[in-house]
């Protein structure tokens, strides 16, 4: 039975009265008399009061209001680091941060924030992943049963052709088969139990989010959203880790060639049960949770006329090496990665422009894009293949031959898009399995946002936007953009494009109807590639000779 919630003000007077309402601003219960006083007092009359029964629904929502390091109440919020601060955190680690605001201000309208909506979606996605894997495991068990029955039939058919000695060997082989079958199904049951447990946990968390959204304070919603998001990400990572250990099982029965010699007593076994474990190809949906709840450089859908660039650093990629830059990427840790076709390698730099090292690759790379925290995809131009590479250890996880050129690439919603032919973009999953092809005219480079594909055509001097079925959404052409090459999308679907011959960088509105010239390059500079980090609102631009490689902050105010 739930404990009685006492009235907070009465407890202060050493009086125990049962609370009938809960103030989510003061975080304490109120009896009938104190409730009336609360409503009449000027400083508290605007506080939100809810029934004790409703408070019970959010009482167990896991939200920390105090700093785990200093055990002080959160009072401030740093927009630059997206982090709640106590009075000790502020002067010790965030003294130089210019955008620290009171946490009450930061939590304003938290219930309507995109972060809360994304948290709910993240829970739903993870539950759907568990449902998908559970169905797969049940199907695998049914397949194991079918294979077991098939082998049993072979054994039984053979048994009828031999003498009494076969009975003894039959028992032996059946035991081996059943043992192998039970072992495989036991492994499936282990995963089913794990996934069921995760599902129950996430369903409970989903319900807590709904209750929090309806009854909790803005501060509770604000802090709870971030803390529960970490739980969801942790559950997804645990789920993804588990899938690496999931196998399908193929049973094979090899009939002993000496079975006919049973009557001579020289055959010692009926046959062999072989089980091949094959890694299951499960399509685990990735989370795409944007953490931009605050006004810190938050991108809106306002006109591109408001967008500005601020230089962060310049990168000297030509120092002590010959380069020909054909692609670039911003890694989750903030490092910058350049595809160097001249050196058949990838050049890695820090956010401050310091050289970290190079990664040798299989051939001259054309384009690169990151897939997740440790994997990238690389296309190899006219070599006719692309690779999925673990850039931490330099190991190629998969090589995919396409039989034709592999040029520009992009990733969105768990899919890899690659420009193959002039009129074709191929779509693959993160494991390198081809899903489909989309008709989309262009030359070399592409970018993707949600379900749209954006293609540059230097021969036509235009940028085209296509939907997932290959239907043209809009076509942009302007004399200010000549020989367009690299392009990238921001969160709203606006398109950054560099013009090789016009020597500039422009931003096209997401509807293709307007644009803004953001940057003009030096004379004889040929800008070629561009990459946008949607989480940090940073833009990386580079020319093919490596003379102008720079990282910018993109401001949407």
Per residue in 540-557, pLDDT (tens digit) is 999 988 888 999 999 886
Q: What is the pLDDT of residue 254?
A: 85
Whether the Cβ atoms of residue 448 and residue 412 lie closer than 8 Å to each other:
yes
Q: How confident is the model at residue 385 (pLDDT cuts 50, 70, 90)?
A: very high
Q: What single-letter DSSP state applies at residue 2? A: P
Residue bearing the bigger pLDDT, 23 or 122? 23
End-to-end, the C-alpha distance of the chain in Å comes to 53
CB atoms within 10 A of CB 235: 21
Average pLDDT over residues 310-329: 86
Element spanning 312, H or E: strand 308-315
Write 436-441 long-range contacts (CB < 8 A, 24+).
438/466, 438/468, 438/469, 438/470, 439/466, 439/470, 440/464, 440/466, 440/470
Task: Enter the pTM of the model.
Answer: 0.52
Length of the chain: 557
* Contact criterion met (CB below 8 Å) for 321 and 523: no
The pLDDT assigned to 430 comes to: 87
Residue 416 has a pLDDT of 94
Residue 498 has pLDDT above 90, yes or no: yes
Q: SS3 for 194?
A: helix
pLDDT tier, 366 (very low <50, low <70, confident <90, very high otherwise) = very high
Span 149-166, pLDDT tens digits: 999 988 888 777 766 677
| Separation in Å, CA 516 to CA 125, 334, 462, 481 | 37, 26, 15, 11
Nearest to 236 by CA among 370, 376, 128: 128
DSSP sequence for 426-442: EEEETTS-EEEEEE---
> Who wins on pLDDT, 266 or 56?
56
Please answer whether residues 504 and 520 qualify as being in contact, where contact means their C-beta atoms are separated by less than 8 angstroms.
yes
Q: Is 227 exposed, middle or buried (0-12, 13-18, 19+ CB in 10 A)?
A: middle
pLDDT of residue 296: 40
Under a CB-based contact definition with an 8 Å cutoff, are residues 218 and 107 in contact?
yes
Average pLDDT for 106-131: 80
- 300 has pLDDT over 60: no
Q: What pLDDT digit, counting tens, does each position of 231-241 carry?
A: 888 888 888 88
* CB count in 10 Å sphere of residue 411: 19
Confidence class for position 262, pLDDT limits 50, 70, 90: low
Residue 394 to residue 507: CA distance in whole angstroms:
34
Which of 134-143, 248-257, 408-417, 522-531 shows the lowest mean pLDDT across its residues? 248-257
Q: Answer yes or no: is pLDDT of 288 > 90.
A: no
Cα angle for residues 195, 200, 201 (degrees, 5° grid): 95
pLDDT score at 532: 95
The secondary structure of residue 541, as a DSSP letter, is E
The whole-number pLDDT of residue 215 equals: 87
What is the pLDDT averaged over residues 92-102?
83
Residues contacting residue 209 through CB under 8 Å, at least 6 positions apart: 116, 119, 120, 123, 224, 228
Spatial contact of 323 and 317, defined as CB atoms under 8 Å apart:
yes
240 and 224 Cβ atoms separated by less than 8 Å: no
Say what the pLDDT of residue 1 is: 44
- Is the pLDDT reported for residue 221 higher than 60? yes
Closest CA to 234 of 126, 113, 135: 126
Residue range 54-80: average pLDDT?
82
Provide the mean pLDDT of the chain.
86
User: Which pLDDT score, from 0 to 100, does residue 528 have?
Assistant: 93
Q: In this predicted structure, what is the pLDDT of residue 291?
A: 42
**Residue 293 pLDDT:** 40
Alpha helices, DSSP H, located in 162-292: 165-215, 218-243
pLDDT band of 286, cuts 50, 70, 90: low
**At residue 274, does pLDDT exceed 80?**
yes
Residue 273 near residue 251 (C-beta atoms within 8 A): yes
Residue whose C-alpha is closest to residue 531's, from 397, 382, 335: 335
DSSP structure string for 387-400: EEEETTTTEEEEEE
Q: How many CB atoms lie within 10 A of CB 173?
A: 21
Kind and range of the H or E element at 35? helix 32-40
Supply the pLDDT for residue 163.
65
């Amino acid at each position: 039975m739930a404990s009685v919630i006492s009235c907070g003000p009465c407890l202060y007077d050493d009086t125990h009265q049962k609370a009938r309402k809960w103030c989510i601003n003061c975080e304490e219960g109120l009896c009938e008399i104190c409730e009336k006083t609360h409503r009449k007092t000027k400083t508290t009359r605007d506080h939100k009061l809810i029934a004790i029964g409703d408070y019970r629904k959010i009482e167990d929502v896991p939200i920390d209001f105090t700093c785990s390091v200093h055990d002080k109440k959160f009072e401030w919020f740093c927009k630059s680091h997206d982090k709640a601060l106590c009075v000790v955190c502020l002067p010790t680690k965030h003294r130089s941060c210019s955008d620290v605001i009171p946490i009450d201000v930061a939590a304003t309208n938290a219930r309507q924030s995109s972060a809360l909506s994304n948290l709910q979606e993240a829970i739903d996605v993870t539950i759907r992943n568990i449902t998908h894997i559970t169905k797969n495991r049940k199907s695998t068990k049914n397949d194991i049963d079918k294979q077991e029955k098939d082998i049993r039939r072979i054994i039984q058919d053979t048994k009828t052709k031999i003498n009494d000695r076969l009975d003894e060997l039959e028992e032996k082989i059946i035991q081996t088969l059943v043992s192998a079958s039970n072992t495989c199904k036991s492994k499936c049951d282990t995963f089913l139990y794990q996934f069921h447990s995760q599902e129950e946990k996430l369903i409970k968390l989903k319900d807590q989010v709904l209750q929090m959204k309806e009854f909790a304070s803005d501060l509770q919603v604000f802090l709870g959203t971030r803390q529960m998001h970490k739980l969801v990400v942790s559950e997804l990572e645990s789920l993804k880790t588990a899938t690496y250990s999931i196998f399908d099982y193929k049973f094979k029965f090899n009939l002993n060639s000496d079975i006919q010699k049973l009557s001579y007593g020289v055959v010692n076994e009926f046959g062999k049960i072989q089980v091949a474990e094959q890694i299951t190809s499960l399509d685990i949906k990735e989370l795409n949770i944007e953490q931009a709840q605050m006004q810190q450089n938050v991108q809106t859908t306002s006109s591109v006329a408001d967008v500005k660039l601020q230089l962060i650093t310049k990168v000297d990629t030509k120092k002590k090496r010959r380069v020909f830059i054909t692609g670039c990427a911003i890694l989750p840790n903030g490092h910058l990665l350049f595809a160097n076709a001249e050196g058949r390698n990838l050049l890695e730099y820090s956010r401050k422009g310091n050289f970290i090292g190079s990664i040798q690759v299989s051939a001259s790379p054309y384009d690169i894009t990151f897939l997740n925290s440790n994997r990238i995809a690389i296309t190899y131009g006219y070599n006719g293949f692309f690779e999925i590479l673990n850039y931490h250890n330099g190991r190629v996880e998969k090589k995919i031959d396409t039989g034709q050129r592999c040029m520009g690439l992009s990733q969105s919603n768990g899919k890899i898009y690659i420009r193959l032919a002039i009129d074709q973009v191929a779509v693959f999953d993160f494991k390198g399995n081809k899903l489909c092809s989309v008709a989309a005219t262009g030359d070399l480079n592409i970018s993707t946002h949600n379900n749209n594909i954006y293609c540059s055509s230097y021969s036509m001097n235009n940028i085209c936007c296509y939907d997932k079925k290959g239907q043209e959404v809009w076509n942009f052409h302007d004399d200010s953009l000549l020989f367009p090459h690299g392009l990238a999308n921001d969160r709203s679907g606006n398109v950054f494009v560099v013009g090789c011959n016009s020597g500039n960088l422009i931003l096209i509105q997401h509807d293709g109807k307007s644009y803004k010239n953001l940057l003009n390059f030096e004379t004889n500079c040929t800008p070629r590639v561009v990459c946008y980090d949607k989480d940090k609102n940073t833009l990386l631009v580079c020319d093919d000779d490596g003379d102008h490689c720079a990282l910018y902050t993109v401001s949407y105010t």
